[in-house]
Amino acid sequence: MIRIECTEINQILRKNILDCIYDLLKFVEKTNIRSKSRELNTSIEKLRDNLSQTADNEETLNQLETLLENFKNETVPSIYAEYRDFIEWIFFYFDQDLYKIFPDKQTDSLSSIENTIRTTFSNVNLIPNDMESFEKNLTLSREKFEEALNKSRVQYSKFLEQLKIDVDTIKEKAPNEIADEQNLLDNLKKLNDKVLDGYNDLKILTRKEDLLGSYSTEDDRHDQCLKDIQPLMNYVSFYVEFKSATAFDFIEVRTIEFSILTALIEKSFEVYENSVPKVL
């Protein structure tokens, strides 16, 4: 029988195994606790920054409401999932205290980890209140914008009523005011600009309705006003130009400058095309 003394080998093996265990635990502390804590805190800080935003207009409100849904469905659940994983690693790490992972000498190692846990826990607990406040602010903003939208609808309706009256009035009076053609043309141009400005107001109104998920304003009176005013304006404009080109008595067509004559002919075709009802 041969007896082999293995005490030294066993000591070396035990030491290497313990070193390996300590290395693994240090890795867990560094990666799964401290690094994960920093990542969580960074994600929460970014989330809270976004939750501090306010809606200054309907466009921003629409974007923030979309962002809120994304936070509810993706961002916050992801943070909570990462936090649960973080807690599991904390429990795992503390369960290994039989290996004396905390040094006997007085250091700040333990208190540092405890501070990491407390900070992360505190930050995670801020999320529900911040989410609730953010959603409440968006609701208040939506109510404010919807109230303003209803007022804009009323204003637009009143604008259309007056516009229709103005167009009908100028159509009725135009034949009697043709003698003062330049003044009539100026009034028609002003009214035409008012119609076009109304289209811009309608575009803004319908955009707000779309952003707020409301029904779209539709009213054919605006189109009808444009159809009524533009042929009349084209006719009076042509009348003014023709009168100016033939200002002299007994003028012959051949004496009119060719470019002016061509422009008048083209204008007359345009007036005819816009004024004569089409037969289908």
Could you please report the per-residue DSSP string of 124-163? HHHHHHHHHHHHHHHHHHHHHHHHHHHHHHHHHHHHHHHH
Q: Shortest CA distance to 110 belongs to which of 129, 124, 97?
A: 97
pLDDT in tens, the chain (280 residues): 677 777 778 788 888 888 888 888 888 888 999 999 999 999 999 999 999 999 999 999 999 999 999 999 999 999 999 999 999 999 888 887 666 665 544 455 556 888 899 999 999 999 999 999 999 999 999 999 999 999 999 999 999 999 999 999 888 887 777 777 788 888 888 998 999 899 999 999 999 999 999 888 888 888 888 888 888 887 777 777 767 666 554 455 455 554 554 555 565 555 545 554 433 3
Burial (CB count <10 Å: 0-12, 13-18, 19+), residue 16: exposed
Q: Shortest CA distance to 173 belongs to which of 161, 159, 191?
A: 191
Neighbouring residues of 159: CB distance < 8 A, sequence distance ≥ 6 = 198, 201
Which residue matches tokens 């992972």?
Answer: 101
Length of the chain: 280
Q: How do the domains of the chain map onto residue ranges?
A: 7-144, 147-275
pTM to 2 decimal places: 0.73
The amino acid present at 166, given as its one-letter code, is D
Q: How many CB atoms lie within 10 A of CB 112?
A: 12
